[in-house]
Structure 1
Amino acid sequence: MTTTETTSTGFEQKLATATFTDEMLDEMRALIGTELRTEGSVNNEYADRHAILRFCEGIGDGNPLWTDEAYAADSVNGGIVAPPAFIFACLGSVQVGWRGLGGFHAETDIEFYKPIRLGDKITATIVFDGFDGPIEASNFAGRRIKDYLRQEYRNQDGELVAKFICSRMRFERTEMQKKRESRKIELPHPWTPEEIEQIEHDILAETPRGSTPRLWEDVSVGDELDVITKGPMGLSDFIAFIASGAAPIPRIAAHGVALRRYAKHPKWAFRDPNTHALEPVYAVHYNDYAASLQGAQAAYDVGVQRTSWGIQHLTDWMGDAGFLKKVHGQYRAHVYLSDVVRFGGKIVDKYIDDEGDHVVSVETWATNQRGQNVMPGSAIIKLPTAVGSDA
């Protein structure tokens, strides 16, 4: 690990750096199958009304099914339920090992089994399922590891609500930093007033499907889903996600509470040379200096934050009577401050699955203003039928 630019208290002005070694790989192999501690990352144990509301506000999801008691009472659910992505507001994830290496959330796979209802108590367990690699160097970074955390969320009755496989790419920060210039783009993006006006017009025109059922019989392979737009990304958009209770890992703290944690775990923090304050590694999501040390161009979004936007896109389209069964997404590029992302998709298959549900298979995408698909993915959605058997 490098020790340059350290302060009198021993905290570096750079994020910790390390390289892959046989010792490190052996150490991590020995951890496979370990259930990880979650105490420092739990945000909401209970799906109370304000916790759900804060989360919806934090991702910009205005669907009344989640927050309007009178509307929800007349829905198929008979009351408020949380959006599927609310699992991230209970516990987004934790980190495991890989001391001194950088990390990006690379891929998400989620299966949803039951809705989270108002008042439910959600408990998460996390198991380290192993890793692939080291994978050889790429244009994006140097050698890298892909690891897997299996997160299972259960309600107060012990029922499995959702299973989330979180895959992260681990890399040597020094190699990532070397390739930073080769990925350079113009930031902030040079939007014109006319473009901003159109973006905001599109956002204000969006509306969820709501109480009108989207019947399985009425959709066809090749149909495209309605588009929703996020952006231009502002600092408040990124901070709102933290305020929603959906991040970070571990929780952000202030003053003496934070200092004592960092003294116990020095690699959790670095000293910002501009403010002289200690900042958590998570600051890459709102601090341009921290992001540059990670090899990024500027502060960027959180993986599960982007997935939450994508889930809103799907739940807006499917309507109150639909049920999101599976979501898959890959994170292909950062979403930076000032970026705009448009979420879309199309039906690629339509069938009755092994559980007897009438479902559609959807190809999904999230395209930024540079034409990049920053989150290619897929979803399985259960829709109600004309005969009412699945409504």
Structure 2
Amino acid sequence: MSESATVGTITDEGVARLRARIGLPQVYPVPPHYLRPGADAFRHVARSYGDDNPLWSVPSYAPTTRWKEQIAPPPLIGGDSLIGEDQLTEAEWEQQKELRGDPLRGVHAFYAASEREWWAPLTADQRIFRRTALVGVVDKPSEFGGRGVQEWTSQAYRTEAGVLLGVQHRMMYRTERSKARERKKYADVTVAPWDEDQLAALDEQLAAEGPRGSEPRWWEDVRVGDPVGPLVKGPLTVTDMVCWHVGMGMGMYGVAPLRLAHRNRQRIPRFYHRDELGIPDAMQRVHWDPSYARRSGNPTTFDYGRMRESWLIHACTDWMGDDAWLWRLRVEFRKFNYVGDAQWVEGEVTRRYLAEGDRPAVDLDLRTRNQRGEVTSPASATILLPSREHGPVRLLDAPGSTLDEAFDATIESFSGGRA
């Protein structure tokens, strides 16, 4: 079979070539959106997902908290191309020539799952470095698009001063476009218009929301079964996604306007398809162009998984208060969130215990649920809480003292990917 005949198709050869890259440090496709994120970046990122906690956005507020200075909202540490200059050895830079191109060229990629861990707060105006590698390739048949592959990538981060910040394992689900269109799994999904009473009910919920802020949530006061949320997000609009991009950038494909778009087309020409006027435009427009979304097998445009991930983080930080620490978050994106859909971010406490022997912690079961009653993103989180008996939150040590050590340890813990 010719190479052109396999474009857009998941083949055994392509999967084998992809697996051969597991564990090899690689350059990220685009430079970081924020090279030295400061107070403005912290505010812009928080606003992009609707978070009004002054801990992220009001410099005069932060000194009154246990952190003593402004810190970044958790979504900034990780999150695709937001931060991190590549840290590679000279030999690893040379090896990048062998890692060019996509072994599954033309095969669609959905952001389908994420596992994150935070080790230390990020303060303003620092250079940040990252290590990136493919860590797992799992064959997983897709009801939506025939054959599917889970492609897991890990990134770890440190500051220029050597503070290890955290790690993210990110899964892109690869599906064949033509089969997705043929199956039309979501052809019967409809998004009904919202009436005035429904919008008024949403407004009432939004008006009642807010961060817990400076009031500690004491570990001793938490009980299994306590509710988390709900936060309401939506109904989703294209404007929400425009505001998202203002804070979060354009992601790993480096989508850009005008002359920069021309340069990006030269870099990744197959990422651009002509629109109805014959103009080359990015495939990423499935998120704001309804006709193009239908070509991918969806009834209309839809959100980014990273948006819902940040909404789940928002629910955690609103609930836990400023004295606590979000340690871990795991999330899967099982259903699309279409323009016009609302999502309720909700959950409950499932466990209260001492983590690593002596750190007061709670585990949460979380989810996003739409107006049709469907769970679109099941998730879980672990939060460290202040304690009257055990004292203020003490952060967990990173798995290593250098970025290389931490990255190797997290890759080892993730060996083989997730089935």
Structure-2-length-normalised TM-score:
0.84
**In the alignment, what sits opposite 1:28?**
18
Superimposed CA distance per residue, residues 137-168 of structure 1 (whole angstroms, 9 cap, x where no aligned partner) = 42x22110011100112112222211100011
**2:136 aligned with 1:130, yes or no?**
yes
Aligned-partner Cα distance in 1 for 2:232–2:7: 36
Cα separation, partners in 2 of 1:266 and 1:350, compared to 1, 3 Å? same
Matched residues in 2 for 1:2 and 1:296: separation?
28
Q: What is the alpha-carbon distance in structure 2 between the residues aligned to residue 280 and residue 149 of structure 1? A: 23
Aligned to 2:205: 202
Structure 1 residues 96 and 106 mapped into 2: Cα distance closer, same or farther (>3 Å)?
Answer: farther
Alignment of 1:60-71 (within 5 A): 60-71=50-61
Contact kept, 8 Å, 2:44 with 2:246, in 1: the verdict is yes
| 3-state SS of 2:193 partner | coil
Q: Comparing 345-354 with 176-185, which one deviates more in the overlay?
A: 176-185
Taking a change above 3 Å as real, the CA distance of residues 287 and 88 of structure 1, as seen in their structure-2 partners, is farther
Q: Decide whether the 8 Å contact of 1:17 with 1:172 is kept in 2.
A: no
Identify which of 236, 245, 258 aligns with 2:239. 236
Q: Secondary structure at the match of 1:338?
A: coil
**2:322 matches 1:317:** no
Structure 1, unpaired ranges of 5+: 4-15
Q: 1:226 aligns with which of 205, 225, 229?
A: 229
Matching residue of 2:92: none
Equivalent position SS for 2:172: strand
Gaps of 5+ in 2: 85-100, 394-419
Residue 269 (structure 1) shift: 1.1
**Which residue does the alignment assign to 2:175?**
171
Indicate the residue corresponding to 1:13 in structure 2. Answer: none
Deviation at 1:124, TM superposition (A): 2.3
How much has 1:81 moved relative to structure 2? 0.7
Alignment of 1:339-354 (within 5 A): 339-354=341-356
State the number of aligned residues.
Answer: 376
Contact 1:43 1:90 in 2 (8 A): no
Deviations 1:279-300 (A, max 9, x none): 2122222222332222222211
Sequence identity (%): 27
Q: Equivalents in 1 of 2:385, 2:123: separation in Å?
A: 20
- Tell me if 1:46 matches 2:36: yes
Q: 2:257 aligns with which of 238, 241, 254?
A: 254
2:48 maps to what in 1?
A: 58
On the 8 A contact 2:33/2:83 being kept in 1, the answer is no
Residue in 2 aligned with 1:11? none
Structure 1 residue ranges, 4+ long, deviating more than 6 angstroms after superposition: none
- Structure 1 equivalent of residue 297 of structure 2: 295
Q: Is the 8 A contact 2:80 2:252 kept in 1?
A: no
TM-score (norm 1): 0.90
Distance 1:260 1:91, change over 3 A: closer
C-alpha distance in structure 1 between counterparts of 2:332 and 2:187, whole Å: 19
Asked if the contact 2:15/2:103 (under 8 Å) is kept, the reply is: no
Instruction: Name the CA distance, whole Å, in 1 between partners of 2:254 and 2:281.
Output: 12
- The residue number in structure 2 matching 1:8 is none
Q: Do 1:17 and 1:174's aligned partners in 2 also have CA atoms closer than 8 Å?
A: no
Specify whether residues 328 and 89 from structure 1 end up closer, same or farther in structure 2 by C-alpha distance, changes over 3 A only: closer
Tell whether the 8 Å contact from 2:236 to 2:338 is kept in structure 1 after alignment.
yes
Equivalent residue for 1:155, pick from 129, 153, 159: 159
Following the alignment from structure 1 to structure 2, what is the Cα–Cα distance between the partners of residues 328 and 113?
Answer: 15
Amino acid at match of 1:376: P
Query: Over the residues paired in the alignment, what is the CA RMSD in angstroms?
Result: 2.3
Deviations 1:39-78 (A, max 9, x none): 6241012221111111111111111111112211111111
Relative to structure 1, is the Cα distance of residues 152 and 339 closer, same or farther in structure 2, using a 3 angstrom cutoff? same
Q: Does residue 137 of structure 2 align to residue 119 of structure 1?
A: no
After TM superposition, the structure 1 stretch with the greater mean CA deviation from structure 2, 94-103 or 198-207, is 94-103
Answer whether contact 1:299 1:337 (CA < 8 A) is retained: yes
Asked if 1 retains the 8 angstrom alpha-carbon contact of 2:155 and 2:167, the reply is yes
The AA in structure 1 aligned to 2:156 is: E
- Could you tell me which amino acid in structure 1 is paired with residue 20 of structure 2? A
Instruction: Give the letter for the 2:322 counterpart.
Output: D
Cα 1:36–1:289 change in 2 (3 A) is farther
Q: Provide Cα deviations, 1:327-368, integer angstroms capped at 9, x if missing partner.
A: 000101111111100101101111001152100010001100
